[in-house]
């Protein structure tokens, strides 16, 4: 069973539908009693950082996720805002603390200075930096995913950078450590490539981590 | 590199896909929206826009059902528009599976609505649809209520106002060119793209592969296509390979992706 964390920040239905399509059981929930029985955890999300952290704390999800992911070591996938929330802090509408699982700040993309359109909306190539089970079977030449964001997690530790993308500047498109992986792009909106990645995530067991 | 997007635009009335000319003339039925969306998913289009042209409460329910069904089988971004008037309307569509909403009349009636929506859901999920017409030689005006009501806004001024309010994208829709397949309004597209910092989607007028190419050369981040896909033999695959041959950065076609 896959837990899809619901903290009132939209987009949970698409991830649930993708799991159904791939024939995996999943549950949309923010209750500890549900999450503790799941083997894998997905933190999706679209919206503003501060509002998201407020909702997470209100539901004690920071404690629950710490217990299940950091201590029990369950495979975890953060998507878009669900990746950014793992950072130490964010500069979106003021400075706000994140979950702090990864050293680094959430910053605005510099693309605007280069005259590029903002938000960064659409399909873009990712460059895979390290081999990882979630990229199994993905062709690097056609590794294109759907992005929609203005901020990005500026990953401090190069060893934790799993993939990057270029839009004006190089920014981190995916991060990882042990049983944790997170993407700035939306696998649940990235057609074949995205479904491949989600399937790989569910097949990823702790032994491989 | 960020890819230029090819987006089929589906107009929905009574649960069916339809297409007219210049918004109100020569309506034609064009099939079931969900099954057509599946076909376009197989073509590997980059997004789909669904517009409820009834813009009534019953029309809303129909569109919600269409989005729910589509998002169970199709894993790409959806923009949904038509009759959105409140935060509750936006919430309903996002929860049904939409990624972005397209708003026209509600923004013209109350621009502050866009600021409120951007604060709550973020700019990335707000698209402003600008329907406009050339009312006198060289004078353009934005229309609301599905092209029935004229406003005092010039489309460029209005797009700048909406960008300031926090919308994330603009769809430029020339009513004069809608369904005519005689080419996009390249002049307006070029001016809007040069002026705005947010992406501009070209809509209304695509009739040939060259039209698609010219829209991108005029600065569009994406092109919306309706009649050309529904009533000619130009498929998204043909459009994509033509654009690639013209050195426009598009996504690889689907069978080469996996």
* pLDDT tier, A10 (very low <50, low <70, confident <90, very high otherwise): low
What are the chain A neighbours of B71 within 8 Å (beta carbons)?
Answer: 13-14, 17
Distances, alpha carbon B28 to alpha carbons A113, B23, B126, B131, B205, in Å = 46, 12, 29, 20, 16
- In the predicted structure, residue A12 carries a pLDDT above the cut 90: no
CATH number at residue B186: 3.20.20.70
Is the ipTM above a cut-off of 0.85?
yes
Domain, as residue range, for A169: 2-208
- Among A124, A145, A126, A127, residue whose Cα is nearest residue A198: A145
Residue A7 host element (H or E):
none
**Residue that the structure tokens 């998002």 belong to:** B71
Contact A191 B76 (CB under 8 A): yes
Share of chain A above pLDDT 70, in %: 97
What number is the average pLDDT over the span B147-164? Answer: 97
Mutate to test the interface with A, among B70, B124, B240 (most CBs of A within 10 A): B124
Tell me: the pLDDT tens digits for B84-120?
A: 999 999 988 988 889 999 999 999 999 999 999 988 8
- Total number of domains constituting chain A: 1
- Total number of domains constituting chain B: 1
CATH number at residue A204: 3.40.50.880
Residue scoring higher pLDDT (A191 or A206): A191
* pLDDT tier, B195 (very low <50, low <70, confident <90, very high otherwise): very high
- Among A197, A166, A108, A183, residue whose Cα is nearest residue B124: A108
- Among A128, A120, A36, A118, residue whose Cα is nearest residue A74: A36
DSSP B34-91: HHHHHHHHHHT-S-EEEEESS-SHHHHHHHHHHHHHHHHH--S-EEEESS--SHHHHH
Which position among A80, A92, A152, A165 bears the catalytic label?
A: A80
pLDDT value for B255: 56
Domain, as residue range, for B229: 5-257
- Residues recorded for chain A: 209
What number is the average pLDDT over the span B129-137? Answer: 97
Token reading at B116 = 């409120």
Lowest mean pLDDT among B37-51, B54-68, B237-251: B54-68
Residue A100 backbone class (left: φ over 0; alpha: ψ -120 to 50; beta: rest): left
What number is the average pLDDT over the span A185-197? Answer: 96
Contact B76 A149 (CB under 8 A): no
Q: Does A140 touch chain B (CB under 8 A)?
A: no
What number is the average pLDDT over the span A34-63? Answer: 93
Residue A186 annotated as catalytic: yes
- In the predicted structure, residue A208 carries a pLDDT above the cut 70: no
* pLDDT tier, B251 (very low <50, low <70, confident <90, very high otherwise): very high
Q: How far apart are CA A151 and CA A131, in angstroms?
A: 25
- Among A104, A111, A110, residue whose Cα is nearest residue A182: A104
Mean pLDDT of chain A: 93
* pLDDT tier, A207 (very low <50, low <70, confident <90, very high otherwise): low
Distances, alpha carbon A207 to alpha carbons A38, A75, A178, A182, B84, in Å = 17, 10, 10, 19, 49
Closest chain A residue by Cα to residue B2: A124
């Amino acid at each position: 069973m896959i837990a899809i964390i619901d903290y009132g920040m939209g987009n949970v239905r698409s991830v649930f539908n993708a799991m159904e399509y791939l024939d995996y059981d999943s549950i949309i929930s923010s209750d500890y009693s549900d999450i503790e029985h799941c083997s894998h955890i997905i933190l999706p999300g679209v919206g503003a950082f501060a509002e998201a952290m407020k909702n997470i704390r209100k539901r004690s999800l920071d404690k629950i996720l710490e217990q299940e992911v950091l201590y029990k070591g369950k495979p975890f996938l953060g998507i878009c805002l669900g990746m950014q929330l793992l950072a130490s802090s964010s500069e979106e509408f003021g400075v706000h603390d994140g979950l702090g699982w990864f050293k680094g700040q959430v910053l605005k993309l510099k693309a605007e200075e280069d005259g590029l359109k903002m938000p960064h909306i659409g399909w873009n190539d990712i460059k895979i930096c390290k081999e990882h089970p979630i990229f199994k079977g993905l062709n690097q030449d056609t590794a294109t995913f759907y992005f929609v964001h203005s901020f990005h997690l500026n990953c401090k530790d190069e060893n934790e950078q799993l993939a990057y993308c270029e839009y004006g500047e190089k920014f981190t498109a995916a991060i990882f450590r042990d049983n944790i992986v997170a993407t700035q792009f939306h696998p649940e909106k990235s057609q074949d490539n995205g479904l491949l990645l989600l399937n790989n995530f569910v097949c990823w067991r702790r032994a491989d981590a | 590199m960020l890819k230029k997007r090819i987006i089929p635009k589906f107009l929905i009335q009574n649960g069916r896909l339809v297409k007219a000319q210049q918004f109100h003339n020569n309506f034609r039925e064009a099939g079931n929206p969900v099954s057509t969306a599946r076909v376009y998913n197989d073509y590997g289009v980059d997004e789909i826009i669904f517009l409820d042209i009834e813009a009534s409460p019953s029309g809303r329910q129909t569109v919600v059902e269409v989005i729910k069904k589509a998002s169970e089988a199709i894993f790409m971004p959806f923009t949904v528009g038509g009759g959105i008037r409140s935060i509750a309307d936006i919430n309903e569509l996002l929860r049904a599976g939409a990624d972005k909403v397209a708003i026209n009349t509600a923004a013209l009636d109350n621009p502050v609505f866009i600021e409120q929506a951007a604060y709550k859901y973020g700019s990335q999920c707000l698209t402003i649809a600008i329907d406009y017409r050339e009312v006198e030689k060289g004078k353009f005006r934005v229309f609301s209520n599905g092209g029935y009501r004229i406003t005092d806004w010039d489309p460029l001024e209005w797009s700048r106002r909406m960008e300031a309010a926090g919308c994330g994208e603009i769809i430029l829709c020339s009513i004069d060119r809608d369904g005519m397949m005689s080419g996009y309004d390249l002049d307006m597209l070029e001016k809007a793209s040069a002026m705005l910092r947010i992406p501009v989607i070209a809509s209304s007028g695509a009739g040939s592969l060259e039209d698609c190419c010219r829209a991108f050369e005029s600065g569009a981040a994406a092109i919306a296509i309706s009649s050309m896909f529904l009533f000619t033999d130009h498929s998204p695959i043909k459009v994509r390979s033509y654009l690639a041959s013209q050195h426009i950065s598009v996504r690889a076609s689907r069978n080469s992706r996996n």
